[in-house]
Amino acid sequence: MNTREIVDKLWNLCNVLRDDGVTYQQYVTELTYLLFLKMMKETGREDKLPAEYRWDVLERKNDPDRLEHYRRMLMELGAKGNRQVREIFANATSFIRKPATLTILVKAIDEVDWYSAKEEGLGDLYEGLLEKNAGEKKSGAGQYFTPRVLIGTMVRLAKPRLGEVIQDPAAGTGGFLIAARHWMSERTDLFSLPEAEYNRFRNSTFFGMELVQDTHRLAMMNLMLHDIESDGETTGIRLGDTLSSAGQDLPRADLILTNPPFGTKKGGGLPTRDDFTYPTSNKQLAFLQHIYRGLKPGGRAAVVLPDNVLFESNIGAEIRRDLMDKCDLHTILRLPTGIFYAQGVKTNVLFFTRGETDRGSTKETWVYDLRTNMPSFGKTAPLKAEHFSEFESCFGPDPYGRSHRKDQGESGRFRRFTREWIREKKQDSLDISWLRDESLEDAESLSEPAELARAAVLELEGALEELKGILSELGEDEE
């Protein structure tokens, strides 16, 4: 049984829990508790758990007693023992109401081919469950999950290195940090490192912050299964608000990889940090300030940001000028639509390097347009690694964007724009496009009123999807 088959089997159990009134998001959280106990047994790490709160004890309980014991177990594990365990079970409660439901879950998990699961990687199994949850629109989890093919591209181009401090200030379930570790482990025999260097790698390389506790517990589980040390306080991913004073405690980084949440702070409030030059309720603009201020000189970043960050005026323009002064904003990737939970939201990846000084760091910016005349991706048309292959080739092998590049002109997807041109022609807007949109040409050629109406409806549907994404963010965001 391969990882995908195991993921499908475990995910199908959500139908059992739905009948017990459990939502998709609650299901993944509930499954995390049970999988943690089982994986501790399978990996020989049960010494982190009190003897009475281990998998075999839970499994041996009679049906009527099992649910009561399980609830007591969640409470005790959240209060006692190893700090990483306490973080995973912090404020944990069970959403299961029927003893028979818990019995079905325990038996199904026990029947998994754990030998095959360990061979393929328990971390990959858990990542597969998170991806499955993100792809289910009703779960609302897509906002915390960046497509892994996009993460892969960003990591390959950023080229994390041993000895660097790597940060994700909007960590979600930890995908960027895990991909960075995977990149390094493929190129370095980590277990041959001297003990001190290996311990430094595990304890002092990966840092992040996540605001939502349920998402944080998923991240803690994910990092543990990928052998990244995270105590939730000093190492790994901390529970907290990056836009508060807690964010100032994150260590300065050599590399920041992140996809900050969309939208504005609830109630229009400003970040409570006192180190931002430009206070704003726009979360992406606030996160952008954290990112470029949090880089060491020569540090680099790859950041997913929506279109409004590129063109918003007033404070938005001031922040972009500050970014281009303090950093070399060498590359912008215009992403296709439909790759995030809100289908209409248009996004980009900004690649930049912190300068040695705070003035005039950006001389030119290269823009790759992967949006115009591209399909809208989604469940039926998934984004794949090959969609990024030409961009990666154009970007070049240098993570600082200094490799030789070729301007493809008006008809190509990759073009160079000088800092002077951006200032004089765009008034420091970075919303730059030059390709003719074939869909607009098709709309102009429509002659029948019904066809014109259909085109208008399609355009309206796209706008409504974007609005839904924004409203969803505003409704669910706890900031």
Collapsing DSSP to helix, strand or coil, 414 comes out as strand
pTM of the model: 0.86
Domain annotation covers residue 222: yes
| CB 61, CB 106: distance < 8 Å | no
What is the average pLDDT score of the chain?
A: 86
Quick one: 248 and 273 in the same domain? Answer: yes
Which is higher by pLDDT, 136 or 376?
376
- Domain assignment of residue 105, given as a range: 3-132
Look at strands 236-239 and 364-369 and give their pairing: unpaired
* Beta-bridge mates of residue 305: 348
Owner of token pair 């003990």: 195
- Given 100, 132, 164, which residue is the final one in a domain? 132
Q: How far apart are CA 17 and CA 108, in angstroms?
A: 13
Quick one: 111 and 197 in the same domain? Answer: no
- Given 103, 132, 161, which residue is the final one in a domain? 132
Quick one: 35 and 82 in the same domain? Answer: yes
Exposure pattern of 151-163 as b/e (b: 16+ CB <10 Å)? bbbbbbbbbbeee
| Amino acid at position 93, single letter | T
Is residue 479's pLDDT more than 50?
Answer: no
Confidence category of residue 205, pLDDT binned at 50, 70, 90:
very high
What CATH number is attached to the domain comprising 315? Answer: 3.40.50.150
Nearest to 337 by CA among 210, 147, 197: 147
Q: How many helices (H) and strands (E) does the chain have?
A: 20, 9
Is residue 459's pLDDT more than 60?
Answer: no
Confidence category of residue 294, pLDDT binned at 50, 70, 90:
very high
Quick one: 175 and 113 in the same domain? Answer: no
Which has the minimum average pLDDT: 1-10, 131-140, 332-341? 131-140
Domain annotation covers residue 63: yes
Quick one: 314 and 253 in the same domain? Answer: yes
pLDDT at residue 473, as a whole number? 44
The mean per-residue pLDDT over the stretch 405-411 comes to: 93
